[in-house]
Amino acid sequence: MSQLLGIDAGNTMIKAVLFDLSGRVLSVAECAGETLQPQEGYAERPVEDIWHGVSVAVTRCLQQAGSAANEVIAVGAAGHGNGLYALDKQQQPLFGIQSIDHRAIETVQGLEASGTDKAIYQLSLQKPWPAATPVLISWIKQHQPDRWAQIGHLLCAKDVIAHFLCGAISAEVSDAAGAGLIDYRQRNYSHELMALYGIEEALNLLPLLRESCAVVGHVTARAAQLTGLPSGIPVVAGIFDVVASAIGSGVVKTGEASIVAGTWSINQVVVDKPDYQRPVFMNSIIENDRFMAIEASATSAANLDWFLREFDDGRAGNGAAHSSDTVAHVEPNPQLPLYHPYLYSGRKSEPAKAGFYGLSGWHTRADMLFALFEGVTFAHRAHIDRLRAAGIPFTHATLSGGAARSCIWPQMFADVLGVPIRVAECKETGALGAALCAGVGVGVWPDLATAAQQAVRLNPGELQPRPERFAFHDARYRVFKRLELAMSEMWHEVG
């Protein structure tokens, strides 16, 4: 039977997942990467590290699959959006900056102070923020002129994977749109948009835009040797990972909502056109006729990863499941502490910091974990509230990402957001979305809606919000937001 390979490159992990055409996972492997922090606020990952991670993850995945590896008919990749990856003029690696980088905060503040951010939104439907791709391009040009002079090609994360596999220098519309590089009037780059950032020269460094499912090349002999993939199979342009996660959880039609709780808090709704009552944080594109309205920040389940890494006494291997069991036994009460999940700053350009509030001597580790789970869910609610205020309604949402694997977090999402929550059966929704793009690209399905209908399954039933729990969390959410307002001045003082 034919197989499809999906590769999902996040900020910390690269996963390779082999699927059959029914969407069933045949094998999965991953390779962790290392975030380099040469200075405070910096988060870098070398291009070579992505290449290495893809080689290791794909090799392991195909080895696990055994003979099924010979049946791979196409490859698709999803990658974290924004950030910036650069090759030199000989297509060799220069540098990589991740989407949790915060070096360009003053660049964003300058755009806001001058009002340029409003003009940028009119064209790109994106609000500038520190790790947005054009913001980082502007920062590199201004602060690292020697590096700027060496750049030959500017890529997104998943474009680095396509280049590694097939040699193509390509870009793709969903990723470029989410990165704030597209002028929506033209559905392409524009000189006017780049000029607002002061980076008109970047137009010569950005690759030709392709559709997500377009075949951009074929696996080279060298990539085949490094990965075990059959030489010559098609590689598609790929897709922005948050859109891939939506597609991989079956969210492809207008009015459907996807919540991705991973490193980032992703909250997105499919719309016919981006015509809102007020601006939203980010927009992307699905195929030729639909858009994704997105509210997002680096405030989600990565907070749990940090907590377990630093305070779980080395038990991180089973930490997520163990912590969910722990939280499940905490009895909700108003005296529980609160948590701001701003380890990697918040949504706005001003600094924000994480913190536990209301701790007393009788509180336990379990109480702190409850506060962390709840605080992450509150951050998602803040984004959901902004989508609703923009006039983007939805009646239920599908949850994916790390939180979807918990025995308690999905129900907490239903209780906090006040909407029914569905959970995707496949745990690797980003890789599945990328694989479905590959399938459409080689003609397995005519479009992504058909692919999702035939290859995506949800867990049985919906998790309904419980009125008494909604009231409990709603009261605490209001205190959470008041604390945020009270702390904003202090966050400026502590950096």
Amino acid at site 354: A
Q: Specify the 3-state DSSP secondary structure of 493.
A: helix
pLDDT of residue 152: 98
Residue 99 phi, psi (nearest 5): -85, 5
pLDDT of residue 224: 97
DSSP state of 42: -
Burial of 350 (0-12, 13-18, 19+ CB in 10 A): middle
For strands 3-9 and 13-20, give the pairing: antiparallel
Cα–Cα distance for residue pair 182/227, rounded to 1 Å: 33
Cα–Cα distance for residue pair 422/49, rounded to 1 Å: 35
Closest CA to 380 of 452, 438, 299, 290: 299
Hunting for tokens 């520190």 — which residue is that?
130
Give me the DSSP letters along 403-470: GGGSSSHHHHHHHHHTS-EEEBS-S-HHHHHHHHHHHHHTTSSSSHHHHHHHH--B-SS-BPPPHHHH
Closest CA to 4 of 244, 323, 296: 244
pLDDT of residue 313: 57
Q: Taking the CB of residue 314, how many other CB atoms lie within 10 A of it?
A: 8
Summarize the chain as % helix, strand, coil (round to 5).
45, 20, 35
pLDDT of residue 234: 98
Amino acid at site 207: P
Q: Catalogue all structural domains in the chain, each as residue range(s) with its CATH number.
A: 3-249 (3.30.420.40), 302-423+465-494 (3.30.420.40)
Cα–Cα distance for residue pair 303/340, rounded to 1 Å: 10
**What is the residue-level pLDDT of the chain in tens, covering all 495 positions?**
799 999 999 888 999 999 999 999 999 999 998 889 999 889 999 999 999 999 999 999 999 998 777 899 999 999 999 999 999 999 999 999 999 898 999 999 999 999 999 999 999 999 999 999 999 999 999 999 999 999 999 999 999 999 999 999 999 999 999 999 999 999 999 999 999 999 999 999 999 999 999 999 999 999 999 999 999 999 999 999 999 999 999 999 999 999 999 888 999 999 999 889 999 999 999 988 899 999 999 899 889 988 998 887 545 445 667 799 999 999 999 999 999 999 987 655 567 899 999 999 999 999 999 999 999 999 999 999 999 999 998 999 999 988 998 999 999 999 999 999 999 999 999 999 999 999 999 999 999 999 999 999 999 989 999 999 999 999 999 999 999 999 988 887 776
CB-CB contact of 189 with 177 (8 Å): no
Hunting for tokens 């336990």 — which residue is that?
364
